[in-house]
Amino acid sequence: MIFVIAIISICYFSIICSFINGFDRIKNIENKNSAPKHTFSIIVPFRNEAENLPLLLHSFSEIAYPKSLFEIILINDTSSDNYNSIIEVFRIKNPIINCTLINSNNITNSPKKDAITTAVKISKFNWIVATDADCKVPKNWLNLFNQTIKYENALFIAGPVKFKDKTTFLHHFQNLNFISLLGSTIGSFGVKKPILCNGANLCYNKATFLELNGFEGNTAIASGDDIFLLETIAKKYPDKVCYLKANDAIVETSSEKNWSLFFNQQLRWASKTTAYNNWFSKFVGLIVFFENLLIIVLGISSLFIKTYWKYFLVVFIVKILIDFTLIFKTTKFIKHKKALNYYVIISLFHPIFIVFIAIGSFFKNYQWKDRIFKK
């Protein structure tokens, strides 16, 4: 038993330490106001997002980049709300912005991938910028992508995403979970083994997407448009993927409104892990699962076997301390240190949550955008 505890814990601590090191390797980028050169097609798949579209579209209107050098493509996925009038108002108020509305052709089990593929094929410009309908983008967004393409010679650029602030415990739980993923994302890019990214803030070369056939081979899985594309491009061009660690490039999104939506979101995200082609991604996922399972097993065992208390306390305390280091760095980067106020209490429940989602992703169906996806 002690051998198993040691092996799992050493692997976990080694991974998180490497992410901490990788996080520091990626330097914070400032906007250098580089001359606008590259052209961008911003694509936004949406389904029943009338509540969120006004904020997103308003943030598009404030983008500080020549309007002739970008376009917006909105892809409707069989929405039943009043989205059309919202888009028309935006067009009237912003006549110099090229904004196209199309309908998605759902031909696979992944509506979002279908929508993105449809948009890429009709896009007019060389670079695809992806975000979600429930987001707000920063004004220097395209400037920083333009700058990164110039200086990093990248074909795929992942950007940071954070939650809009709320006051509920549900939000704080989601927020710290999300921040830990953000820290791990940046850290993995820093050690040249990228395993995560967020489809709410991506930029990639259109010609490369078409060359590699986009999402081919992954359309049977509903989610994963972001990570599968990262894997595909990183496999062919490992030196051409990078992370844009810039506060001025942070896209804001919303946490889920209730626990049911949150669990369904997490099940959707977790369901794609078995299809990852990156061995390091699978290894990290397994070690994270077993480390959290170990804490639960040790905690329960210590109630019956007193000698297990010391193992439980050592593993749990060291885990929350090393996790805190990565999360602290991440909250400092996104300027949201007050999220740490809830770290200790949420850390008590987080292992149960991780194990529940991991196991549930193999057996439970999940609902997304009023659709049920079966295992």
Single-letter residue type at 290:
F
Single-letter residue type at 169:
F
**The predicted structure's pLDDT at residue 113:** 87
**The predicted structure's pLDDT at residue 371:** 56
Domains of the chain from N-terminus onward: 30-175+192-258 (3.90.550.10)
**pTM, full prediction:** 0.91
Interacting residues of 357 by C-beta distance below 8 A, sequence separation 6+: 263, 266, 267, 270
**The predicted structure's pLDDT at residue 220:** 61
**The predicted structure's pLDDT at residue 374:** 55
Residue with tokens 């950007």: 159
**The predicted structure's pLDDT at residue 307:** 85
**The predicted structure's pLDDT at residue 370:** 62
CA distances from 132 to 50, 75, 114, 140, 184 (A): 13, 11, 15, 17, 21
Cα–Cα distance, 252 to 182 (Å, whole number)? 13
Cα–Cα distance, 159 to 181 (Å, whole number)? 13
Side-chain-side CA neighbours of residue 310 (13 Å): 2
Write out the H or E segment, with its range, that includes residue 73.
Answer: strand 70-76
> What are the pLDDT tens digits along the chain (375 aa)?
788 889 999 999 999 999 999 999 999 999 988 899 999 999 999 999 999 999 999 999 999 999 999 999 999 998 888 999 999 999 999 999 999 999 987 776 778 888 999 999 999 999 999 999 999 999 999 999 999 999 999 999 999 999 998 889 999 999 999 999 999 999 999 999 999 999 999 999 999 999 998 887 766 666 668 898 999 999 999 999 999 999 999 999 999 989 988 988 888 777 767 667 788 988 999 999 999 999 999 999 988 888 889 999 999 999 999 999 999 999 999 999 889 999 999 999 999 999 998 888 776 665 666 655 555
User: Under a CB-based contact definition with an 8 Å cutoff, are residues 356 and 364 in contact?
Assistant: no
Cα–Cα distance, 232 to 216 (Å, whole number)? 10
**The predicted structure's pLDDT at residue 64:** 95
**The predicted structure's pLDDT at residue 304:** 87
**The predicted structure's pLDDT at residue 21:** 97
